[in-house]
Structure 1
Amino acid sequence: MSELHTAPAGWYPEPSGTDGQRWWDGTRWTEYATPLSPPTQAQHAPYGSARDARVPDGTPVDTVWIWLIVVLPVVAVIPFFLWDFEGYLQRSMAGDPAAQLSLYRDPMYLASILLGWGAYAASVVFAYFDMVALRKLGYAKQFHWAWTFLWSLVYVVGRTVVVKRQAGHGTAVMWVAITLNVAVLVGTIVWFIAVMANVFGSAIESYPAI
């Protein structure tokens, strides 16, 4: 202890023997103390940082469930294009009182409605199975399946981002999904324009010439 009283001011190991250092002002111990080494921040790395856990090389980035989610919107819309929408519009414009009732008897219309809701429900279920499969493959983080309630494409894009951060690749499924959704949207618009052009063309031809 006599050596401490002659020591110059500075940081010295804790006199109590615990980890850390305490400031000796040359005459007495002060209240200023510090750890021997600063705490590491690895355990508190922000989400999406370079410190995110990585899966081993060669770990699959796709599952059968995610591909089913991708193709479901295309399958669901096929009966819609086979529905006699043009005939329905022509009967409605002609004042046929049974036109509305015939709509609900059209098998393609009913199939498109049922498949649309069925695809929506199946996408939610498949997203859950996909998240479980990713967890079994070793992915520490997964995009939550409940986002599929908003839109299946939202889940596909979010899942791709999370998987790519941990695997370093795996964007193909996202680009295929975006391409198919755009193709369905464009195809629907073109089909609708063509049907409306035919309907109005037929309506104009039915009027007697002046």
Structure 2
Amino acid sequence: MSTTTPPGWYPDPSGQPGNRWWDGAAWTQHVNPPAGPVQRPRIPDGVATDTLPIWLLALQPVLVVLLQFAYRPELRFRTIGPDGLQALDPASVYTVGYFVLQVGGLLLYGAAVLLAFLDHRALRRRGVVRPFPWPWAFLATIVYVIGRFVVVRKVAPGRPMWPLWTYLVVGAVGTVFGVVRAAALFQQMLP
């Protein structure tokens, strides 16, 4: 009597989640995904989850506010046509500060994506399995920051989330400042 393992689905011998098909003689390439969601393993308590890149991302809205000070238009109007219609002079809007603001905004956007990549890489090095994907930072920094902390809460529950709260507070203050500044500029354009 021979003792062979009958064909069937068995836990993958490579250690991957899910099952692999044993044909009675050898493992095949056929795999089944795991039955439920794969849990991320927790990281040890001594491993820090706050990285330098996430802190730089959290403080980036301060640079956005400072960059807004580069743009100080002196709005001028000119009369056009025989009926005295007033029009905004484009030269008063498109100043050097305007272009500094535009280029600076693009550089900060690129820096945010780079910082998300560096943070993702640092988390992987610290043992976080499948950290939140850094390309979400292309959509918006806030998407990456919040998604990152959702994952960190799963692998390191109970840890403080100071970079997240810092980003939210600094971002909210920056948004209020931007709205007030935009309202003041808009008010200058009204006759």
TM-score, length basis structure 1: 0.65
1:59 aligns with 2:43: no
Q: Spell out the pairing of 1:185-200 with structure 2 (5 A cutoff).
A: 185-197=175-187, 200=190
The structure whose residues are more often strand, as a share, is: 2
1:160 paired with 2:149, answer yes
Q: Given that residues 124 and 146 in structure 1 are in contact (C-alpha distance below 8 angstroms), is that contact kept between their aligned partners in structure 2?
A: yes
State the Cα distance separating 1:129 from its structure 2 match. 1.0
Q: CA deviation at 1:82?
A: 4.4
Give the CA deviation at 1:192: 2.1
Partner of 1:69: 57
Counterpart amino acid of residue 188 in structure 1? G
The amino acid across from 2:57 in the alignment is I
Residue 64 of structure 2 contacts residue 174 of structure 2 at CA under 8 Å; is this kept in 1? no
Q: In the aligned structure 2, how far is the partner of 1:170 from the partner of 1:45?
A: 32
Tell me the distance in 2 between the aligned counterparts of 1:135 and 1:45. 25
Larger C-alpha radius of gyration, 1 or 2? 1
* Residues in 2 aligned to 1:72 and 1:16: alpha-carbon distance in whole angstroms: 68
Residue 80 (structure 1) aligned to one of 68, 73, 91: 68
Query: Could you say what secondary structure the match of 1:193 adopts?
Result: helix
Residues 199, 101 of structure 1: CA spacing in aligned structure 2 closer, same or farther, 3 A cutoff? Answer: closer
Q: 1:116 to 1:98 in 2, by over 3 A?
A: same
Partner of 1:28: none
Unaligned runs of 5+ in 2: 18-33, 81-85
Amino acid at match of 1:177: Y
Tell me the secondary structure at the aligned position of residue 70 of structure 1.
helix
Identify the residue that residue 103 of structure 1 maps to in structure 2: 93
When the two chains are superposed, the root-mean-square deviation of aligned CA atoms in Å is 3.1
Change (3 A) 1:125 1:82: closer
Show the counterpart of 2:102.
Answer: 113
Give, in angstroms, the shift of residue 54 of structure 1. Answer: 0.5
Q: How far apart in 1 are the matches of 2:70 and 2:3?
A: 83
**Could you say which residue in structure 1 is the equivalent of 2:21?**
none
Q: Is 1:70–1:177's contact at 8 Å kept on the other side of the alignment?
A: yes
**Offset from partner CA, 1:156-177 (integer Å, 9 cap, x none):** 0001111111011242222221
CA 136–100 in structure 1, closer or farther in 2 if over 3 Å, else same: same
List per-residue Cα deviations over 1:13-43 (Å, max 9, x = no partner). Answer: xx864569xxxxxxxxxxxxxxxxx97xx94
Q: Is 1:177 matched with 2:162? A: no
- The CA deviation at 1:128 is 0.9
Partner of 2:116: 127
CA distance in 2, matches of 1:45, 1:183: 45
| Percent of matched pairs sharing the same residue | 30
**Equivalences, count:** 165
